[in-house]
Chains A and B, each alone.
Chain A
Amino acid sequence: MLQESTQLLSGNEAVALAALHAGVTLGTGYPGTPSTEILENFAHLGGKAQWAPNEKVAYEVGLGVAFGGARALVTMKHVGVNVAADPMFTSAYTGVRGGFVFVSADDPGMASSQNEQDNRRYARAAGVLMLEPSDAQEAYDFTLRAYEISEAWRLPVMLRMTTRVCHSKSVVRPGGVAIKPAAPPHFIREMSALVMVPAFARPAHRRLREKLARAAEWNDQSDLNRKIMKSPDLGIIASGVSYLHAREAAPNASILKLGMTYPLPLQTIRKFIESVKRCVVIEEGDPYLVEALRYEGWAVEGKPEMYRFGELNVPRVRRILSGDVSPEPIPPRGKPPQLCQGCPHRMTFAVMKKYDCIVSGDIGCYTLSVLPPFETMDSCVCMGASITVGLGLRHALPPEEARKVVSVIGDSTFVHSGLTGIAEMIYNPPETGHVVVILDNGTTAMTGMQEHPGTGRTLDHQPTNKLSFERVLEAMGVPHVTVTENPPDFEAALKAALDRTELSVIIMRRTCRLAEPKIQLYEKAAERCNQSQQVTQE
Chain B
Amino acid sequence: MSKSSNVTNVVLAGLGGQGVIRAANILAEAAFLTGHDVKQSEIHGMSQRGGSVTSDVRFGLEVVLSPMVPTGEADFLMVLHPSQVENNLYLLREGGVLISTRMILEEGKELDALDADETPLNSRNFNVGLLGILARYLRFPEDAWTTAIRKHLPEKVHEQNLKAFAYGRSLELSPR
Q: CB-CB < 8 A to B123: which residues of A?
A: none
Q: Is A135 an interface residue (CB 8 A)?
A: yes
A171, A241, A340: which contacts B38 (Cβ < 8 A)?
A171
Given A332-B86, A337-B16, also A314-B50 (CB < 8 A): no
Q: How far is the CA of A171 from the CA of B16 in the complex (A)?
A: 26
Q: CB-CB < 8 A to A331: which residues of B?
A: 71, 87, 90
A8, A333, A336: which contacts B28 (Cβ < 8 A)?
A8
The count of chain B contact residues (Cβ–Cβ below 8 Å) is 40
Given A247-B65, A248-B5, also A337-B49 (CB < 8 A): yes
A456 to chain B, nearest CB (A): 24
Q: Is the CB of B51 within 8 A of A338?
A: yes
Q: Is the CB of B28 within 8 A of A337?
A: no
Q: Is the CB of B67 within 8 A of A334?
A: no
Q: Is the CB of B41 within 8 A of A167?
A: yes
A327 to chain B, nearest CB (A): 15
B80 to chain A, nearest CB (A): 13
Q: CB-CB < 8 A to B38: which residues of A?
A: 8, 169-171
Q: Is the CB of B67 within 8 A of A168?
A: yes
Q: Is the CB of A8 within 8 A of B46?
A: no
B interface footprint on A325-358 (CB within 8 Å = 1, 0 otherwise): 0000101111111111000000000000000000
Q: CB-CB < 8 A to B42: which residues of A?
A: 167-168
Q: Is B45 an interface residue (CB 8 A)?
A: yes
Q: Is B39 an interface residue (CB 8 A)?
A: yes
A interface footprint on B26-62 (CB within 8 Å = 1, 0 otherwise): 0011001000011111111111111110100000000
Q: CB-CB < 8 A to B66: which residues of A?
A: 241, 244-245, 248, 313-314
Q: CB-CB < 8 A to B39: which residues of A?
A: 135, 168-170
Q: Is A368 an interface residue (CB 8 A)?
A: yes
Q: Is the CB of A336 within 8 A of B51?
A: yes
Q: CB-CB < 8 A to A333: which residues of B?
A: 87
Q: Is A392 an interface residue (CB 8 A)?
A: no
A12 to chain B, nearest CB (A): 11
Q: Is the CB of A337 within 8 A of B32?
A: no
A interface footprint on B8-32 (CB within 8 Å = 1, 0 otherwise): 0000000110000000010011001
Interface of A is mostly: loop
B36 to chain A, nearest CB (A): 9
Q: Is the CB of A164 within 8 A of B68?
A: yes
Q: Is A117 an interface residue (CB 8 A)?
A: no
**Residue on A nearest B53 in the bound complex, by CB:** A334
Q: Is the CB of A8 within 8 A of B84?
A: no
8 Å CB contacts to B: which residues of A409-456?
Answer: 446-448
A293 to chain B, nearest CB (A): 24
**Residue with the greatest number of chain A CB neighbours at <10 A, chosen from B1, B47, B68:** B68
Q: How far is the CA of A248 from the CA of B73 in the complex (A)?
A: 13
Q: Is B96 an interface residue (CB 8 A)?
A: no
Q: Is A315 an interface residue (CB 8 A)?
A: yes
Interface of B is mostly: mixed
Q: Is A504 an interface residue (CB 8 A)?
A: no
A135, A339, A365: which contacts B67 (Cβ < 8 A)?
A135
B4, B32, B47, B90: which contacts A332 (Cβ < 8 A)?
B90
Q: Is B70 an interface residue (CB 8 A)?
A: yes
Q: Is the CB of A338 within 8 A of B50?
A: yes
Given A313-B71, A332-B86, also A365-B28 (CB < 8 A): no
Q: How far is the CA of A314 from the CA of B46 in the complex (A)?
A: 24
8 Å CB contacts to B: which residues of A65-85?
Answer: none
Q: CB-CB < 8 A to A265: which residues of B?
A: none
Q: How far is the CA of A300 from the CA of B70 in the complex (A)?
A: 26
Q: CB-CB < 8 A to A447: which residues of B?
A: 45
8 Å CB contacts to A: which residues of B85-104?
Answer: 86-88, 90
Q: CB-CB < 8 A to B52: which residues of A?
A: 334-336
Q: How far is the CA of A251 from the CA of B15 in the complex (A)?
A: 35
Given A8-B38, A135-B67, also A334-B90 (CB < 8 A): no
Q: Is the CB of B71 within 8 A of A315?
A: yes
A396 to chain B, nearest CB (A): 32
Q: CB-CB < 8 A to A168: which residues of B?
A: 39-42, 67
**Residue on A nearest B54 in the bound complex, by CB:** A334
A496 to chain B, nearest CB (A): 32
B1, B28, B50: which contacts A335 (Cβ < 8 A)?
B50
8 Å CB contacts to B: which residues of A287-340?
Answer: 313-315, 329, 331-340
Q: How far is the CA of A167 from the CA of B42 in the complex (A)?
A: 6
Q: Is B83 an interface residue (CB 8 A)?
A: yes
Q: Is the CB of B84 within 8 A of A334?
A: yes
**Residue with the greatest number of chain A CB neighbours at <10 A, chosen from B4, B65, B86:** B65
A33, A163, A335, A336: which contacts B83 (Cβ < 8 A)?
A335
Q: Is the CB of B65 within 8 A of A365?
A: no
**Residue on A nearest B71 in the bound complex, by CB:** A315
Q: CB-CB < 8 A to A329: which residues of B?
A: 71, 90
Q: How far is the CA of A8 from the CA of B72 in the complex (A)?
A: 26
Q: Is the CB of A167 within 8 A of B48?
A: no
Q: Is B64 an interface residue (CB 8 A)?
A: yes
**Residue with the greatest number of chain B CB neighbours at <10 A, chosen from A313, A336, A337, A447:** A337
Q: Is A34 an interface residue (CB 8 A)?
A: yes
Q: Is A111 an interface residue (CB 8 A)?
A: yes
Q: CB-CB < 8 A to A231: which residues of B?
A: none
A319 to chain B, nearest CB (A): 11
A-B pairs, top 4 by smallest CB distance, nearest first, are A112-B45, A334-B52, A337-B51, A337-B49
* 15 intermolecular pairs with C-beta atoms under 8 Å apart: A33-B44, A33-B45, A111-B46, A164-B67, A245-B66, A248-B4, A248-B65, A248-B66, A248-B70, A251-B4, A313-B68, A313-B70, A334-B52, A335-B83, A448-B48
